[in-house]
Structure 1
């Protein structure tokens, strides 16, 4: 099954590349949100510290005013009225400046940092940020972090798709020449490893449709008459052997071979309850999901069966 693995790897690489780019953009946006939140949170903490400091300073100012009033009453007894105002003003400025500096030193805040805080606050406002909504932003970031952590712990990998199983004539998954009859080795593989692989995919990806697609090369079928329409329904219902079908073209041969494979899969208990749909692509599609450009001749790699697994699009209707 070397070609099956190669096609599977190519298919997954394409998906992974597209998905990795999408997830990278999501991660970039998430990182930008983290940076913005960190800046806003830091400014919020500084603002809260400044507000606490202001409240403390107000309390201290009230104490100073009481002391000032008391001192004023005492000065009134010993000083002239003209000197009293100057003394009070100078005293008030000295006391306020000293207390404010002591509080800033305790908080570890320099005078230059107060100017930076004011500038940062203005920048945030100019950028349309509402400082009061920081809590909501942090809650959202916490939710995203929890989701990422839960996904990492569960090992969840989003956007996984079931594999495409390719069974090529070049890998000895073959039919009798010009017929839809399975070779014994092909039928044995279908009932063994291939059925197990399909059953595992059905459980893993929660799907219920198995599509069996028959592909041929572009060698012409030299038949003037065909009994395809008269026999196909009996073969599909397993009332008649598949080798009774005489296809008149490659599309009919591809469908007959898909029916042969589908009938084997439908008979396997591991796939009971699954819907197996036989389809034909005839000679139109090259390996790798490319339309043919008209290459005639005996090409074993083009004669193949592809098995694709998916979920039913709509519920069954009577």
Structure 2
């Protein structure tokens, strides 16, 4: 009985081995057939591409032959017109092939036009390609320098205080001749140099006062300030009723001088008032009554415009 069972198991193993061998052969044959099919598809694809190119060339040759036949049968005037048209078509075809070889597709040109439109929107001229390239490189360089700059490399605050002889008389916003001359000369030159150096476009002029109260009950600042800014009235026409108004009036007096300087014409000059609140050195006052010349001053800050 045991021998019969062993014989049966042996026979089953032989059958299983034969089945496995057959399946492996089928799998091998299938892989070979798949590779052959892939090679065939690749070859057919290549042949189709070649045939398409040949068809395109044949179409172009046929068009050329048709054109030549038209030239042969046409009159003199018609032949001249056809020859001109044909030369233009050939030139256009050669130009198109040259553009395509350089990657200048209609889509690429549309993208480039969109970029140029954005460049024009920020006020950069695009008619001179070299100038545009130089300007973009300059902007990139300035941006990198600003990103890597240290705190001491940011635009400075220009203090016009008693240290340089620039202070106002008590309760007044008038500029004396010496003050005006220095604003028009070395101060404007210093501001212009810093505008260029730091690539900024905003000048803030801040007027400060001491803490002496102003004993007026009425002010015409609201009515006159726009006319003074527009140059229609002098700074002396403004009558402030408090230190906030006096600080603004002093700032306006300096702004009007700076705005007249062509070196600063590309910048926006903004008048501001610090009133009596800010001590020299950017400290908030805790109360310092009395006549203090050092506080009747102007500060000029330079910065980049806030995008918004």
With the length of structure 2 as denominator, give the TM-score of the two structures: 0.50
Q: Which residue of 1 aligns with 2:128?
A: none
Give the RMSD, CA atoms, in angstroms: 1.7
Q: Which residue of 2 aligns with 1:110?
A: none
Residue aligned with 1:198, SS: helix
Aligned residues of 2:208 and 2:275 also touching (Cα < 8 A): yes
Asked if residue 295 in structure 1 is aligned to residue 288 in structure 2, the reply is yes
Question: How far did 1:177 drift?
Answer: 4.2
Question: How far did 1:236 drift?
Answer: 1.1
Q: Following superposition of structure 1 onto structure 2, how do residues 139-150 of structure 1 map, counting pairs within 5 Å?
A: none
- Distance in 1 (CA, whole Å) between partners of 2:163 and 2:247 is 16
Q: Which residue of 2 aligns with 1:284?
A: 277
Task: Note the alpha carbon deviations across 1:12-55, whole angstroms, 9 max, x for none.
Answer: xxxxxxxxxxxxxxxxxxxxxxxxxxxxxxxxxxxxxxxxxxxx
- Distance in 2 (CA, whole Å) between partners of 1:283 and 1:169 is 16
Aligned residues of 1:174 and 1:183 also touching (Cα < 8 A): no
Asked if residue 164 in structure 1 is aligned to residue 165 in structure 2, the reply is no
> Which consecutive residues of structure 2, in runs of 5 or more, have no partner in the other structure?
1-144
Q: Kindly report structure 1 stretches of 4+ aligned residues shifted beyond 6 Å.
A: none
267, 276, 300: which one aligns with 1:307 = 300
- Distance in 1 (CA, whole Å) between partners of 2:264 and 2:236 is 24
Aligned residues of 1:176 and 1:183 also touching (Cα < 8 A): no
With the length of structure 1 as denominator, give the TM-score of the two structures: 0.49
Residue aligned with 2:207, SS: strand
Question: How far did 1:175 drift?
Answer: 3.3
- Distance in 2 (CA, whole Å) between partners of 1:281 and 1:250 is 9
Question: How far did 1:176 drift?
Answer: 4.7
Q: Which residue of 2 aligns with 1:10?
A: none
- Distance in 1 (CA, whole Å) between partners of 2:289 and 2:170 is 17
Q: Following superposition of structure 1 onto structure 2, how do residues 10-159 of structure 1 map, counting pairs within 5 Å?
A: 158-159=149-150
257, 274, 292: which one aligns with 1:264 = 257
187, 203, 207: which one aligns with 2:200 = 207
> Which consecutive residues of structure 1, in runs of 5 or more, have no partner in the other structure?
1-153
Question: How far did 1:302 drift?
Answer: 1.1
- Distance in 1 (CA, whole Å) between partners of 2:163 and 2:294 is 5
167, 191, 194: which one aligns with 2:184 = 191
Q: How many pairs were matched up? A: 161
Aligned residues of 1:214 and 1:279 also touching (Cα < 8 A): yes
Residue aligned with 1:238, SS: coil
